[in-house]
Each structure stands twice: as C-alpha cells, then as structure tokens.
Amino acid sequence: MPGLFITGTDTGVGKTYVTCYLAEKLRREGIDVGVMKPISTGPAAEDDALYLKKKLKLNDPLELINPVHLKHPLAPYPAAKLERKKLDLKKILKTYKELEKRHDTVLVEGIGGVAVPITKDYFVIDLIKAMKLPVIIVARAGLGTINHTMLTLGALIDQHINIAGIIMNGFTGKDKAEKTNAEVIEKLSGVPILEKLKWSA
C-alpha cells in the first residue's frame, strides 16, 4: 500500500486524530509509516503538522511533513491571497514522492473537506487525484453526518477516486442518530464504515 489520503466531511471532524490513530496502528503491524500534511493554515503554535511530528515522534524534517504553511486560519486560497503568496503545487507533489521513497507507506492528511479551494481553480479533490491515493473519509458520528458524508462520497465517486472506507469520529453510542447513521451510510453508498472512534479532534 503506497499510502492513504485522509480527508474529512468538514473542518474539525478529527482528521489529525485519525491520522495519528492510523499511523500508530500501522506501526504496531511493523510498517514504516510516513506522515504528510501538505498544507496547513493558522498560528504556528496550533499547527497540525507540528502536532503530528511531536505526537508520532517523526524523524522527517517539518518541511517534508508540511511543505506549505500559511499563517491565516482560512482555506488555502484566501489565506495565500492575504499573504500574497503563490502556492507551489509541484513542490507539494515532489515532497510526497520524497516521503514515499523514505517509507513503506505515507498517510496524507488533507485540509478541510474535498471542496476546499487550494487555488482559485484547484481543490483538495484535485490534490487527491494528483497523488493517486485511496481515500479514508473522517465523518462525525452524530446528527447531520449522513448529508455531509453522502455529499463527500458523491464528489469522490464522480471523480473516480478509490474510497477505502469511512471512519466515524465522536461515537458515544448513546445518541439515536449515532446508532443508525453508520448502517444507513453503508447501505446507501456501499462504502464500508471501518471504525467508530470516540470523539477527539
């Protein structure tokens, strides 16, 4: 398995937590795992890439883990406009190839959902296609997730992107919506729910 792209149905659904969870799980199976956060935005102290590096004790330099960082906590397109920066998409793909050489597999954590704009005419879903990676979708467990998850699935299916499965984050087992959402999504989409994790963003 060359790698996986971890995307979300929205921002704040727990992609970073799930990326750490998957990396640790693969390591326990004896797999050398690299991790990448192609684009991060917001204050450096709250940076997901920095958190991933520290939490997973990654040996790769931060510039490989996170080749593009923008200081404003926005989608990449408006954040880059505010900084008057042009995002180097070739640099992102070249960095991924370097990590791919260094490790058995690479987990790539996206930013926001699949329709988040990286540039005016290039979106997260375009980056997924360029990397040619199967996708794991991180979705909330509770009410509203059917709509968000089905829209995300539809966008990926329309682009003929391989979907490895869905991880429900924030599962408590107490809410009625939580108890039915996974089964409904699986039946409607045919995409498996891989795991239900307790909430952590």
Question: Active-site residues: which are they?
Answer: 37
Radius of gyration (Cα) for the chain, nearest Å?
Answer: 16
Q: Which helix (H) or strand (E) holds 110?
A: strand 105-113
Reported for 18-24, long-range contacts at CB under 8 A and 24+ positions apart, including other chains, are 18/136, 18/138, 18/167, 18/169, 18/197, 19/52, 19/107, 19/109, 20/52, 20/55, 20/56, 21/197, 22/107, 22/136, 23/56, 23/107, 24/56
Which three-class secondary structure state does DSSP give residue 10?
A: coil
